[in-house]
A and B are shown apart, each in its own frame.
Chain A
């Protein structure tokens, strides 16, 4: 099946620094990718929709200046957490839709961010 990768799988950073997370579709192209966030014992929550060649759209309550999204190519979207704070510590997951009839999506393995 389709494969989506993320890098890094985990990262620890100091408060105030920025962290970039990459999401790649390895064997298919995706003009749209999605970024989710998952806090412990909670379900996935959509943060933003990444669109190749245009600006990302953010969910209500998600700061676009803090979570910068760049969809650089048909196989790569990046999420940069700027000026990270401990409350940004979370599990970040991306997904990309396939071209199957039902447009099922494949999810990356996730990135565990810990801000100290």
Chain B
């Protein structure tokens, strides 16, 4: 699986958009980009995934560059409850394959 690079930490003001970047320059054509987050002392929570096109759901938007070498997760109106570690993971869509978690980005939403 391709490796990802994320900033170790970010701050965001409450109510503002949080933009979390992820570099995956060695991504293969059949690998998806997945985003999860982990709030303290909880299991990871699925946020969104994408292959080539930008995606949006009730939680966030995922913007993938045209060359697919990087992506940005956007939380449009961050709240204090969005404070968590955010993980960007790239992998092929394989039922029997686990996810490999890196250190992620620790997002702190500030009042």
Contacts and interface: CB of A to CB of B under 8 A. Distances in A.
Contact of B41 (A1, A45, A106, A110): A110
Interface stretch (A13-21, A62-70, A74-82, A91-99): A91-99
A22 to B, nearest CB: 14
A49 interface: yes
B49 A107 contact: no
Interface residues of B, number: 24
Interface string A90-116: 010101010101111111111010000
Contact of A34 (B36, B41, B93, B98): B98
Interface string A35-73: 010000001111001000000000000000000000000
Interface in B27-50: 32, 34, 36, 41-46, 49
Interface string B89-104: 0000111111111111
Nearest to B32: A102
A25 interface: no
Given A32-B95, A49-B98, A105 B46 contact: yes
A110 B43 contact: yes
- Among A1, A32, A91, A107, the most chain B Cβ lie within 10 Å of the Cβ of A107
Contacts of B46: 1, 104-107
A32 B93 contact: no
26 contacts: A1-B46, A4-B43, A32-B96, A43-B104, A44-B99, A44-B101, A45-B101, A46-B100, A49-B98, A93-B43, A95-B43, A97-B95, A99-B95, A102-B32, A102-B34, A102-B51, A103-B95, A103-B97, A104-B49, A105-B46, A107-B43, A107-B44, A107-B45, A108-B43, A109-B42, A110-B42
